[in-house]
Amino acid sequence: QLFGELDYVREADNCERFRDIYGLWDNVVVPRSCCTLTRKKVLVQEWVDGEKGPWVDESGIDMVRIGLKCSVDQLLNTGLFHADPHRGNLLRTPDGKLAIIDFGMMADVSEEERFGLIGLVIGLQNKDLPLVTEYLLKLGFLDDTTQLDLIVPRLRAAVKNSTGGTGKASDVNFSKLQAELDA
């Protein structure tokens, strides 16, 4: 992945593919790449003015909401996923749009994987741990040798303990959940 990230021809192509989809959104900016000038070690793109925040301003523009909507669409709809969406790669433009830059780390999520993620989310939302387990297996997070009858009770206990007993997804302490699952 590291050497792929350093191939600027590939990065320019990723940017143009991403721009073809998300550059059409009213509240998202994706720079143009100049593919005729870009080489393996030289990337030429248009400059995008922007700052690293504020993420919510006094007028109510919420960059976090825009970014989440865009990320969910990438994962569940188009399958073209920006795999490095940190603060250095996300800018707020002067006119309140979300600029997304740096397309060196991208992933193509297959239709099968997208349906698996949707199933996983539905299982989590409905607290249907057998369904969650089924999709964890389908997505490759669990292997075929996993004893599923042992996973569901352990997953149920881990979720309960990581939420302070509430069982609500919004209360999950992910560090605690990871520690519970690793125990």
Q: Which two tokens mark 59?
A: 């007028």
Distance between CA atoms of residues 56 and 78, nearest Å: 26
- Catalytic residue flag (residue 84): yes
Q: What is the H or E stretch that residue 108 is in?
A: strand 106-108
Query: What pLDDT, on a 0 to 100 scale, did the predictor assign at position 163?
Result: 81
Query: What pLDDT, on a 0 to 100 scale, did the predictor assign at position 183?
Result: 66
Q: Which of 62, 73, 84, 128 is catalytic?
A: 84
Segment 141-147 mean pLDDT: 82
* pLDDT tens string 1-56: 445 557 999 999 999 999 999 999 999 999 999 999 999 999 999 999 999 988 88
* pLDDT tens string 93-137: 999 999 999 999 999 999 999 999 999 888 888 888 889 888 988
Closest alpha carbon to 101 in 6, 23, 4: 23
Query: What pLDDT, on a 0 to 100 scale, did the predictor assign at position 175?
Result: 76
